[in-house]
Structure 1
Amino acid sequence: MGIKSKNVCDDQVFESIFKSYAKDIKRYIFSKTRDAQIAEDIVQDAFVKIWEDCEKVLFDTVKNYLYTIANNLFLNIVKHNKVVHAHQQINGKTSTNESPEFLVLEEEFLIKLEKAIKDLPEIQREVFLLNRIEKKKYKDIAEELGLSVKAVEKRMHGALLVLREKIGNI
């Protein structure tokens, strides 16, 4: 088989592996996560795994092994997040910290608000929805509807007056 390759369990060899590959693996994982802390954690965990299995790891394959471990750790996080998300979807609003009374009042308020918006004159409702729901600026609404900014302001003001009268301060 020839000359024995470097021993990954040797402190100096392991340190040289870390210096050679840690930054590249972190960049690779960061490109997937877009979270520097998660990328750093995965890199640390990958190197811990290499150290724990250093007797089994060949120096010539350590780079590929590190990338495989890091990628698997990333995939485990993705899988975990999917499970958490699915659990949250199943539980829906039952996992809220709000009291049942608050939830009933909130639902009643939302129904009242929807009705009040529905009852607005068309010209006011359109401006209100474009501004408050679609988050458009008065200038953009004016351009879209072919109005002046003052006309948009006047319609929005009228809509807010009507809504405040029907449901209180919003």
Structure 2
Amino acid sequence: VIDFATFEVTEEKSERIDFWSLVESVADGFEEVSFDNDDARSRGLICIARPVALRRCVTNLVQNAVTYGKKAHLNLRQSDRTIALAIRDEGPGIPQAELDAVFGSFVRLEQSRNRQTGGLGLGLTIARNIARSAGGEVSLSNHPDGGLLTELRLPLAI
């Protein structure tokens, strides 16, 4: 709750960030994470954002995938002037009608009060706010092969 309440008042300045390095360092903290692509074309993707905030955004998205989908498969690519990070988990996905609702503050699909099985319902809200503040977006969809597909898109720095 404190993270949510203080996010907008931070004085952190935007700077150029090597997005591959940031994602790789976040992924190193989770043994349930693997990369679908690990080639040179994915490296050197530079965006402009607040570094601590962007790390929080990526961490929240990866943590959700691992918590609710057991494993996270990451794919990083450039498309036109956009950096795209796709995170596919191995969980049950989210009912189609709930895909947008989960971005609301304090919305949780996991209904228990157990902190081990669910958080406060702020992770996706924070992640989307951070992405949007950097000119990007976070979206969710159910993957055709199962699991949830989370996509973080950010503008490529010029």
TM-score range, shorter chain: under 0.3
Q: Counting helix residues as a fraction of each chain, which structure ranks higher? A: 1
Q: Counting strand residues as a fraction of each chain, which structure ranks higher? A: 2
TM normalised by structure 2 equals 0.24
Larger radius of gyration: 1
Structure with bigger RCO (C-alpha 8 Å, 6+ apart): 2
